[in-house]
Every structure is written in structure tokens, then in C-alpha cells.
Amino acid sequence: MAERSAPVGVMDSGVGGLSVLAEIQRLLPNETLLYVADCGHIPYGEKSPDYIRERCRHIAGFFHEQGAKAMVLACNTATVAAVADLRELYPGWPLVGMEPAVKPAAAATRSGVVGVLATTGTLQSAKFAALLDRFANDVQVITQPCPGLVELIETGDLTSPALRQLLQGYVQPLLAAGCDTLILGCTHYPFLRPLLAGMVPDHVAVIDTGAAVARQLRRLLGANDLLAEGPAGAARFWTSADPETLRRILPVLWHKSDDVQSFAL
């Protein structure tokens, strides 16, 4: 059985999962965190499910080698493609995935219109269709695939005119359709909240699932008697792209300058 002091592995196709990592650290400050940014294979949203499953298996194997007591797929697209596969490969290992916040959005909307910003892969998945079928029968859900957003966020420049223009083009049709609740269906998108604040009226609720994922991780660790008692070790980072790029972005998105190592392709 894993030790309580063992680390938790968190992965994403790139830097978006740092938004989830921050929620985990906020809720579980005693946990030591490992993070793999699979930037050399981004964006997952345009890749095949088989390709994504293979990447997730590779990263899960790495976390096992590092002694991780649990794994978080901080990526909606990776969860859709791979979480069931990983649960079969690693029975008994606490695994937490992501899903767009359809249920809370459907409960929150007053206009009855919910907008979803997400990757193509997430929106086309059977899992997303099942979420709509289960929780959104009484509301109108308007989906907006957002090609290009992830790649721009990966640069770390969250105020660029190109990013602003692209985001505006995706958000405006949702607002025009009357949505009063906006789901951020990709872990990269919470980093766009400052930009969205200037585009979205105050009455529109913007919802993501990072905090819910942290709560689910806490529940699973508690159920398995694996909650760390602290103190936490320093977070460690790996990337399958150029480590220097992630080192440059970390102070912007993570607000710390932690060490970054190369992750074998």
C-alpha cells in the first residue's frame, strides 16, 4: 500500500492543468505534487482517442515509477479518451478525471441557455453527450469548439491581441444566443478569466471544474487512508517539449519558478 507521504501525479496535454494543480494545492496543502505537461504532443483536442490513450498510459507508467499514490487527469479530452482504460490497467489506484460542469451550469442558469467553450474532442465525445442527456434535458446547451485557444494559452501571453480576438469570436455567438452561464470545458480556459471579465456581462456565470476535481481527490485519498499529514515537498514538473519554455511560463501561470525536467517522449 502507498504511503500517505507519497506524491500525487497530475497530468495535462500542456499547461492548462496548472489551473487544477492550483486548486489541489489550495485544498490539500500537505500533498506533494508531480506535474507532467505533455506539451510535445499538444493539442490533445485534435488527436485520435487511441493516440491520447497511448500518451496517458505512458504518463501513468511514469507516475507509478515515481511512487505516486494517485493520479489526476487534469484534461477533459484525456479523461474522455483514457480514464476508463487506466482504471482497468491500474485497479485500486485512485484516479480522478475531468468533465465539463454541465450539472452545476444547468442548475445555475436562469435564462435556460448554457454556453460551452471546449475542445473539439470533448464536444464530440460520447461522455459529453451522456452528460447533456443526464443533466441538461430542461435547458438549451450551445456548444462552441475553440480551435487555436490552447495553443495561444501555451505561449503564456494571456493578453495578446490575437488571443483576445479569437476568444471574442467564440464567446460572442453564445452571448447573442442568450446564455447566462458559460462552461469552461478545458483546463486551459480558466486562465482566460481576466480576458472574459471584459467580454462577458456581470450577470453571466462562468463555471469550471478545478475545485470539484480537488474535492474528489480529497475524497478518494481519504477513503483510501492516503491523505498526507505534511509538510508537502516542493512541486516537481516535467514536460515533453523544451523545458525552457515551461520554465518561462510557470511564473505567469503557477506564480512560482519551480524546476522543470525533460519528460521522455
pLDDT digits (tens, 9 = 90+) for 71-120: 999 998 899 899 999 999 999 999 999 988 999 999 999 999 999 999 88
| Any domain includes 120 | yes
In this structure, the answer to whether residues 94 and 215 fall within a common structural domain is yes
In this structure, the answer to whether residues 168 and 114 fall within a common structural domain is yes
Provide mean pLDDT across the span 153-172: 95
* Helices of type H across 136-206: 149-153, 161-176, 193-197
In this structure, the answer to whether residues 111 and 199 fall within a common structural domain is yes
User: Is the pLDDT at 265 greater than 80, yes or no?
Assistant: no
Question: Looking at residue 59, which CATH number applies to its domain?
Answer: 3.40.50.1860
Confidence of residue 44 (pLDDT cuts 50, 70, 90): confident
More confident residue, 104 or 265: 104
Q: How far apart are CA 152 and CA 174, in angstroms?
A: 21
| Any domain includes 1 | no
Nearest to 187 by CA among 28, 79, 52, 33: 79
Phi/psi of residue 198, nearest 5 degrees: -90, -5
Percent of the chain whose predicted confidence (pLDDT) is above 70: 99
| Any domain includes 93 | yes
* Grid cell digits, residue 210: 478545478
Query: Of 208, 225, 247, which residue is a domain's last?
Result: 208
**pLDDT value at position 188?**
92
**pLDDT value at position 124?**
87
Provide mean pLDDT across the span 163-189: 96
User: Is the pLDDT at 196 greater than 80, yes or no?
Assistant: yes
In this structure, the answer to whether residues 20 and 86 fall within a common structural domain is yes
Confidence of residue 246 (pLDDT cuts 50, 70, 90): very high
| Any domain includes 251 | yes
Residue 146 bears catalytic tag: no
- Residue 231: cis peptide before it, omega within 30 degrees of 0: yes
CA angle 149, 37, 52 (to 5 degrees): 80
Candidate list 39, 75, 146, 179, residue with the active-site label: 75
**pLDDT value at position 37?**
97
Q: How far apart are CA 4 and CA 69, in angstroms?
A: 8
In this structure, the answer to whether residues 106 and 157 fall within a common structural domain is yes
Residues 21 and 236: beta-carbon distance below 8 Å: no
Query: Of 163, 188, 208, which residue is a domain's last?
Result: 208
In this structure, the answer to whether residues 254 and 162 fall within a common structural domain is no
In this structure, the answer to whether residues 253 and 125 fall within a common structural domain is no
Candidate list 39, 56, 146, 186, residue with the active-site label: 186
User: Is the pLDDT at 163 greater than 70, yes or no?
Assistant: yes
In this structure, the answer to whether residues 152 and 84 fall within a common structural domain is no
Residue with cell 480551435: 147
Q: Which of 34-48, 60-74, 80-94, 205-219 has the lowest mean pLDDT?
A: 34-48
Provide mean pLDDT across the span 189-197: 95
Residues 25 and 197: beta-carbon distance below 8 Å: no
Provide mean pLDDT across the span 191-195: 95
Q: How far apart are CA 223 and CA 225, in angstroms?
A: 6
Phi/psi of residue 260, nearest 5 degrees: -125, 130
User: Is the pLDDT at 220 greater than 90, yes or no?
Assistant: yes
User: Is the pLDDT at 50 greater than 90, yes or no?
Assistant: yes
**pLDDT value at position 264?**
81
In this structure, the answer to whether residues 116 and 139 fall within a common structural domain is yes
In this structure, the answer to whether residues 107 and 174 fall within a common structural domain is yes
Confidence of residue 45 (pLDDT cuts 50, 70, 90): confident
| Any domain includes 2 | no
Q: Looking at the 3D structure of the chain, how many domains does it have?
A: 2
User: Is the pLDDT at 22 greater than 90, yes or no?
Assistant: yes
Judge if pTM exceeds 0.75: yes
Provide mean pLDDT across the span 228-250: 93
User: Is the pLDDT at 160 greater than 80, yes or no?
Assistant: yes
Query: Which residues are within 8 A (CB) of 148 and not within 5 positions of it... i.e. 6 or more apart?
Result: 166
For 182, the 3-state DSSP assignment is strand
Alpha carbon 184 to its chain's center: 10
**pLDDT value at position 62?**
97
Residue 75 bears catalytic tag: yes
| Any domain includes 198 | yes
Residue 113's DSSP bridge partners are 140
In this structure, the answer to whether residues 73 and 86 fall within a common structural domain is yes
**pLDDT value at position 1?**
60
Domain of 258 in residue numbering reads as: 8-98+211-262
In this structure, the answer to whether residues 111 and 123 fall within a common structural domain is yes
Average pLDDT score over the chain: 94
| Any domain includes 48 | yes
**pLDDT value at position 2?**
76
